């Protein structure tokens, strides 16, 4: 994941473990990091879902044609 917030994964984990004693600046950087991660993950899931739907539709179209050719109209 691209890190625009200039925070390392280790820093994020450290802040998450001890967030009650972390500065507001650290909390803000971590929240920005997590928000970016959430949005990117959500976008990937949407793209993968669309790809999966398209793959399924293509397979079904070819399978129907295959059945017609090999078993006649069913």
What is the pLDDT, as a whole number, of residue 70? Answer: 94
Tens of pLDDT, residues 33-70: 999 999 999 999 999 999 999 999 999 999 999 999 99
What is the pLDDT, as a whole number, of residue 64? Answer: 96
Domains of the chain, by residue range, sit at 9-71
Q: Is 36 exposed, middle or buried (0-12, 13-18, 19+ CB in 10 A)?
A: middle
Q: What is the DSSP letter of 18?
A: T
């Amino acid at each position: 994941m691209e890190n625009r917030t200039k925070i390392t994964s280790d820093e994020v984990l450290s802040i998450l473990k001890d967030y009650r004693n972390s500065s507001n600046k650290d909390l803000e950087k971590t929240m920005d990091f997590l928000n970016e991660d959430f949005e990117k993950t959500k976008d990937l899931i949407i793209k993968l879902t669309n790809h999966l739907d398209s793959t399924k539709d293509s397979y079904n179209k070819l399978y129907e044609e295959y059945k017609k050719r090999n078993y006649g109209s069913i």
